Amino acid sequence: MLTIKLPQIFRVHQVPRTFWEDGIMSGYRHPKSSALDCVLSSFQMTNETVNIWTHFLPAWWGRGQGQRPGCELEWYFVWRFLVLSSSLELWRDPYHWPLLIYLLLVCLYPFASSCAHTFSSMSARARHICYFCDYGALSLYSLGCAFAYGAYAMPDHWVSGVWHRYFVPAAALNSFVCTGLSCYSRFPELERPRLSKVLRTAAFVYPFLYDNIPLFCRLLFFFWSNHPWSDAVAGYCYHLLFALLTGFLFASHLPERLAPGRFDYIGHSHQLFHICAVLGTHFQLEAILCDARSRRAWLRGHLPVPGLPGTFGTAGLAFLGNAAIIGAFTAALPRAPSSSGSPPSVPSEAGRWRDP
């Protein structure tokens, strides 16, 4: 009978410092796991298991509607993308090209995060590269938000203005700043952990604030002018609420910081961070769809038809630029103080530590 031996897990003092997480005392995987061990570890309880599934499931799985019996689970973000592709003719209608780019990047970022958490224990170098790719996907997602907001959510009095015309190109440049700064933040991670945390937090707060300037303006207008409430505005409010919770959890490391070891497997901040991020993206998507439908006639009368250079051309250049930044930081890893990640000893088969 075929049996599968699940990988051994370790406590915090048994793995190199570069693998340590604040307030997490146990559940660590072998710091030199094989790719197969990483995949198998997603089916056992480690401190990464819930991190993996809280982004893999939303990226790929959701509850389908109108499907045949026995097929209750269907792809969620991907499923939404496929349904909208057929109902809105995303590929054929230039009006929906910014939405198409946004949807593709919404599918990308949780999947990249899930892969990063799955394979980050292969080595210290692999850990850095995995999270470089994760940061790049998040940066591109921020660009996708700018595409959608610029096309459908811009306040009426800003439409066709100078700032509106340069809103997406500036967001593309912001994605380079975000990827570069977040990747660099891994280099001083061991020697100056506070600086590393500040740099990484700033790398994602800055594009978030920039992207959401149109939303802040619209919400202020709604609250100050007693404008009738709309589904889109409600969705954006929920999105911003979950975005704030996401940022708070990322920066605070609560609750595990208050009770180290109590939330190693379930309930620590990164798991809650993932859940809030996905919920925020869900509400954001629904609000963007409301705007795209309800404002279509007005926007098409005030904006030119989106062209290939301004949509897929910009997105393609941003993808290549972010990939180049990730490649540059990957090439620099051997010179980084925190890149070695080699423990002074490695676990033997008996679970004890011996010199390599």
Strand partners, 10: 28
User: DSSP letter at 149?
Assistant: I
One digit per residue, the tens of pLDDT, for the chain of length 356 reads: 446 677 899 999 999 999 999 999 999 999 999 999 999 999 999 999 999 988 776 655 544 443 333 333 335 777 788 778 878 888 889 999 999 999 999 999 999 999 999 999 999 999 999 999 999 999 999 999 999 999 999 999 999 999 999 999 999 999 999 999 999 999 999 999 999 999 999 999 999 999 999 999 988 888 787 776 788 999 999 999 999 999 999 999 999 999 999 999 999 999 999 999 999 999 999 999 999 999 999 999 999 999 999 999 999 999 999 999 999 999 999 765 544 444 444 444 334 333 33
- The whole-number pLDDT of residue 94 equals 95
Tokens of 238: 């929920």
Length of the chain (residues): 356
- The whole-number pLDDT of residue 224 equals 81
Q: How many CA atoms lie within 13 A of 167 on its CB side?
A: 28
Measured CA to CA, the distance from residue 268 to residue 230 in angstroms comes to: 35
**3-state secondary structure (DSSP) of residue 158:** helix
Closest CA to 30 of 9, 2, 12, 51: 9
Closest CA to 31 of 126, 116, 115: 126
Q: How many CA atoms lie within 13 A of 307 on its CB side?
A: 3
Strand partners, 56: none
Rg over alpha carbons for the chain, rounded to the nearest Å, is 22
Measured CA to CA, the distance from residue 45 to residue 41 in angstroms comes to: 7
Measured CA to CA, the distance from residue 188 to residue 195 in angstroms comes to: 7
- The whole-number pLDDT of residue 58 equals 63
pTM over 0.95: no
- The whole-number pLDDT of residue 83 equals 79
Question: CA-CA-CA-CA torsion for 157, 159, 160, 163, nearest 10 degrees?
Answer: 90
Measured CA to CA, the distance from residue 332 to residue 317 in angstroms comes to: 23
Measured CA to CA, the distance from residue 51 to residue 111 in angstroms comes to: 11
Measured CA to CA, the distance from residue 291 to residue 326 in angstroms comes to: 34
Question: CA-CA-CA-CA torsion for 272, 274, 276, 277, nearest 10 degrees?
Answer: 160
**Complete DSSP assignment for 255-314:** TTTTSTTTTSSSS-HHHHHHHHHHHHHHHHHHHHHHHHHHTHHHHHHHSPPP-TIIIIIH
User: DSSP letter at 7?
Assistant: P
Measured CA to CA, the distance from residue 188 to residue 199 in angstroms comes to: 10
- The whole-number pLDDT of residue 285 equals 95
